[in-house]
């Protein structure tokens, strides 16, 4: 019978790898809590309409990458990202009635049908934050600051922060017209995706990764339009103030006029944080402001800002973490007594195992040396004379002690 293997674009996270994942999650919980964020866990599938309306029906995610299926005459989609789901929960559960800002963070699997590559899978994991209720650029600054602080807490310092302003819907319309005008003579030379985006969402042209399109955007007359300051006075002041806040916080950044992000809901501030240790797909964090999304999904008009990071990519940049060893391993052929002692130690929050198959002493000791810091010998002499032999497996030193004293020794490991 053929072996059933893991599906393409998915990956088992094995016990020897899980410590790295726990590290990402523990650092997030600690730091995000310090910033006042509360964890939220939303379902991994939602109504397809949520993503069509939220993410945007001109995006590659909605057009090409979603896992969608029909169930009981309803269209259901595995979440390709989590901002739309968090916004849906914010509205549905009346969080807009809470004092603002409402700060939420999440972690979990997302699903996109795309070509698997380094740090990117069809089932992948993200950590992200969303802040609701603050229109001022202080929220943008804090979001970027939190992202950089989180990455630094993981030991990642070789990073580049890129920022841009997409303006508001009003000032962005004129910019779209100017982009279409200057690119019209080059229309036939654009890739097929850009030809489609030309009418539906011209800003997405700037996000193209095809080399021939990128070369077109570098032509002087075209680049001059792309690099122009098209945003209105209010949006310009918002962006100027954001940069002042980042300067005050010591966050180094670069302005990138080509930065538009791949989701339709962004307005004003967008940003990416890139690692200089990755290849062309080098973004480890992306986010921005999405002031109209809550209203577009049926809620009250509520400004918002957030970001997400791919956990697989983060792990690819970090050194692997060795699995933690047990505090102790009981070496004994008396199964009732070994089980009894193990349970006593576990009740004291001490990690311990014993050999469930009752192998010979030397085999048990061999196992102990690989998986534990201490070996606890519970042989005939120990049981008869009511003492325990304890061996430090790092130093090979050995001592005899009572059960009561054993607990004190192990606690201080």
Q: How many CB atoms lie within 10 A of CB 332?
A: 23
* Residue 213 lies inside a defined structural domain of this protein: yes
pLDDT of residue 57: 58
Q: How many CB atoms lie within 10 A of CB 296?
A: 16
Considering 253, 286, 317, which residue would you say is the last residue of a domain?
Answer: 317
Same domain, 307 and 334: no
Return d(Cα 77, Cα 44) in angstroms, integer: 8
Most confident of 81-90, 155-164, 197-206: 81-90
Return d(Cα 83, Cα 51) in angstroms, integer: 10
Over the chain, what is the mean pLDDT? 89
Q: Is pLDDT above 70 for 263?
A: no
Considering 206, 230, 254, which residue would you say is the last residue of a domain?
Answer: 230
Same domain, 145 and 78: yes
* Residue 188 lies inside a defined structural domain of this protein: yes
* Residue 50 lies inside a defined structural domain of this protein: yes
Where residue 278 falls among pLDDT bands split at 50, 70, 90? low
Task: Give mean pLDDT, residues 64-69.
Answer: 86
Return d(Cα 295, Cα 27) in angstroms, integer: 33
Return d(Cα 134, Cα 276) in angstroms, integer: 32
- Domain containing 219: what range? 169-230
Q: Is 12 left (phi over 0), alpha (psi -120 to 50) or beta?
A: beta
Same domain, 276 and 350: no
Same domain, 362 and 216: no
Q: Is pLDDT above 90 for 108?
A: yes
Burial call 13-36: b when 16+ CB within 10 Å, e when fewer? eeeeeeebbebbeebbeebbeebe
pLDDT in tens, 321-379: 888 899 999 999 999 999 999 999 999 889 999 999 888 888 999 999 999 999 999 98
> Which of 283, 284, 257, 260 shows the shortest CA–CA distance to 270?
260
pLDDT of residue 304: 97
Q: Is pLDDT above 80 for 388?
A: yes
Read off the CATH number of the domain in which 407 is found: 3.40.50.800
Return d(Cα 51, Cα 49) in angstroms, integer: 5
Q: Which positions ≥6 away from 311 have C-beta within 8 Å?
A: 21, 24, 107, 124, 125, 126, 127
CA distances from 376 to 31, 73, 227, 344, 405 (A): 38, 61, 70, 13, 13
Same domain, 175 and 241: no
Task: Give mean pLDDT, residues 399-407.
Answer: 84
Tokens of 346: 């576990």
Number of structural domains the chain divides into: 3
Same domain, 153 and 42: yes
* Residue 1 lies inside a defined structural domain of this protein: no
* Residue 379 lies inside a defined structural domain of this protein: yes
Considering 317, 336, 355, which residue would you say is the last residue of a domain?
Answer: 317
* Residue 12 lies inside a defined structural domain of this protein: no
* Residue 226 lies inside a defined structural domain of this protein: yes
pLDDT in tens, 303-315: 999 999 999 999 9
Same domain, 310 and 340: no
Is residue 27 a contact partner of residue 153, using CB atoms and an 8 Å limit?
yes
Same domain, 371 and 225: no
* Residue 138 lies inside a defined structural domain of this protein: yes
Return d(Cα 81, Cα 126) in angstroms, integer: 8
Same domain, 263 and 347: no
pLDDT of residue 63: 66
């Amino acid at each position: 019978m053929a072996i059933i293997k893991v599906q393409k674009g998915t990956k088992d996270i094995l016990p020897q790898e899980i410590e790295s994942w726990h590290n990402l999650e523990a650092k997030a919980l600690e730091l995000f809590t310090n910033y006042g964020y509360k964890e939220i866990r939303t379902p991994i599938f939602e109504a397809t309409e949520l993503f069509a309306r939220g993410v945007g029906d001109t995006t590659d995610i909605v057009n090409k990458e979603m896992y969608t299926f029909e169930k009981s005459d309803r269209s259901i989609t595995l979440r390709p990202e989590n901002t739309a789901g968090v916004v849906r929960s914010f509205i549905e559960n009346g969080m807009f009635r809470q004092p603002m800002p409402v700060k939420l963070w999440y972690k979990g699997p997302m699903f996109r049908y795309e070509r698997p590559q380094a740090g990117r899978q069809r089932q992948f994991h993200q950590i992200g934050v969303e802040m609701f209720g603050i229109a001022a650029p202080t929220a943008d600054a804090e979001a970027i600051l939190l992202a950089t602080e989180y990455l630094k807490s993981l030991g990642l310092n070789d990073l580049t922060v890129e920022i841009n302003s997409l303006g508001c819907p009003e000032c962005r319309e004129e910019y779209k017209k100017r982009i279409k005008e200057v690119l019209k003579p080059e229309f036939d030379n654009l890739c097929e995706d850009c030809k489609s985006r030309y009418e539906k969402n011209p800003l997405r042209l700037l996000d193209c990764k095809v080399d021939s399109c990128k070369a077109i955007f570098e032509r002087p007359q075209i680049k001059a339009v792309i690099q122009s300051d098209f945003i209105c006075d209010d949006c310009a002041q918002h962006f100027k103030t954001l940069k002042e806040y980042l300067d005050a916080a010591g966050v180094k950044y670069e302005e990138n006029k080509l930065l538009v992000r791949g989701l339709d809901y962004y307005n004003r501030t967008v940003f990416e944080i890139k690692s200089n240790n990755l290849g062309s797909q080098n973004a480890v964090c992306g986010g921005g402001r999405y002031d109209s999304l809550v209203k577009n999904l049926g809620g009250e008009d509520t400004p918002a800002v957030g970001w997400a990071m791919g956990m697989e990519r983060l792990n690819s940049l970090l050194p692997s973490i060795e699995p933690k060893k047990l505090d102790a391993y009981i070496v004994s052929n008396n199964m009732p007594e070994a089980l009894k002692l193990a349970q006593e130690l576990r009740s004291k929050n001490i990690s311990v195992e014993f050999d469930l198959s009752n192998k010979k002493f030397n085999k048990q000791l061999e196992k102990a040396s690989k998986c534990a810091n201490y070996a606890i010998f519970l042989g005939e002499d120990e049981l008869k004379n009511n003492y325990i032999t304890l061996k430090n497996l790092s130093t090979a030193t050995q001592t005899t002690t009572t059960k009561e004293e054993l607990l004190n020794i192990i606690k201080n490991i």
